[in-house]
Structures are given as C-alpha cells and as structure tokens.
Structure 1
Amino acid sequence: MRAIYENGRIAIHDAYLYREVIKEIQGRYWDPERKVWTVPFNSENISTLKVIGCEFKGVLIDMVSSLTRSRDNPQIPVEPVEPMPIRVKPYQHQVQAYNFVSGLLGLFAGGGVA
C-alpha cells in the first residue's frame, strides 16, 4: 500500500487489505474510476496510515517528516489528555500513544472521535 499527496488530500493505492480501516477515516472517498481511496491531509490520518504500514511517496515524504518533526519536538513536552493510570512518569512517546488511542476510542471529552 502506498500513498501520494494530491490537492490537499492523500491518495492511497493498493489498499484492499486495509479498506475497513480506511472506511473509518472521516472524509474518506473512494474513487471508482482510479480505484484509489482519498483522505484529507492531516496529522491524524497520517498517523493512522503509518500504523497500518502505508508507504509514503513523492512530496508526501517531506510533508510527513516535517509534520512529524514539529509534532515530536522534544522542546515542547506533550501532556496527557487525562491523568494516566500509572505510578511512574511516562516517556513522551507513551503520552503521545495514550492521547492518540484515547482520541481514536473517544474515551475523553477533550479529544477524539465521538
């Protein structure tokens, strides 16, 4: 599965195995003529595509790396959306994963899919 940037959207090619995941993305569109899925270009969709193993092509590679770099800036610590149910101080990647999954599952009022 590979993805390219087209007019503010991400075009996903060869995504048959992941069609059910893509159907859950807000704003997705199936283009029957070209046989590709398109989704809006935003950090949430990029994260979802990364998790399912999508390969980014063309200018999308640079766009994704700059978006990831700005989001993962170690100078700006990320705070959990709600206190995490652990006794130790979490690493930044753990907080990001906690926030991401909480948003996907709609666990907290502050963020995510309802």
Structure 2
Amino acid sequence: MSGGGGGSGRNDLGPAVGGGFDQCSREYQTPVNSPKPSVLGPLNVGDVLDVDVVAIGSSSTLVVRDARGNLGGSLTFVGYLQVINCIVQQAVPYKAEILSISGGVYTVRVYPV
C-alpha cells in the first residue's frame, strides 16, 4: 500500500523526481517576439537569458530577461502555457539560450534548469 493517492486525477502535480514523463522537462525552440534591440543587441549566439512570467491584467506573458533583469521580448510557442504553469505553479526555473541571430530575429532554446 502506498500512503496518499487521492487528489485531482492529474499526473505530475508534485515535484518531478525520478522517471516518468514530466511536462516541465521539455525544451522548445522559438523566436523572441518583439525583441528589444537595446537589451538583446549586445548579446551573441550562446548567451543565456532568464525566462520569466509577467502578469498583465488577468493574463500572464512569458518573457526573456537579460542578466540585469531588463525585458528583452516575449515568447509564444506551442506549449508556452505549460511553461508558464511550470514556472508559476511548480517553481521550475527556465533559461533561454540564443541559438541564432538573423536580421533582428533572435531564435532561442527554452529549457528548464
């Protein structure tokens, strides 16, 4: 017998430890929306940004920030709502590594730390 099953009927609501599929362990590749040249301009391929959630009214937006906490742009991709949930509900930190820079388009790899 195990001791506490009950609950919501959803998987992976507790801390992610050991085997099994964990929604918060996925990685994503996406462009940064509305990149701010003053923040991202000095950065290079391979640099790493923080991924954060910003509440705007009743909704939440996924954003990237530089090492000084400056907002560099937003992120939307299939699965971004899950990432917001992982950050807000499960306190899973994420980073975004710059994979390419082309004509002001910054493509990043978003991954849990």
Given the two structures, how large is their TM-score scaled by the length of structure 1? 0.28
Higher relative contact order (Cα pairs below 8 Å, separated by 6+ residues): 2
Greater share of helix:
1
Greater share of strand:
2
Given the two structures, how large is their TM-score scaled by the length of structure 2? 0.28
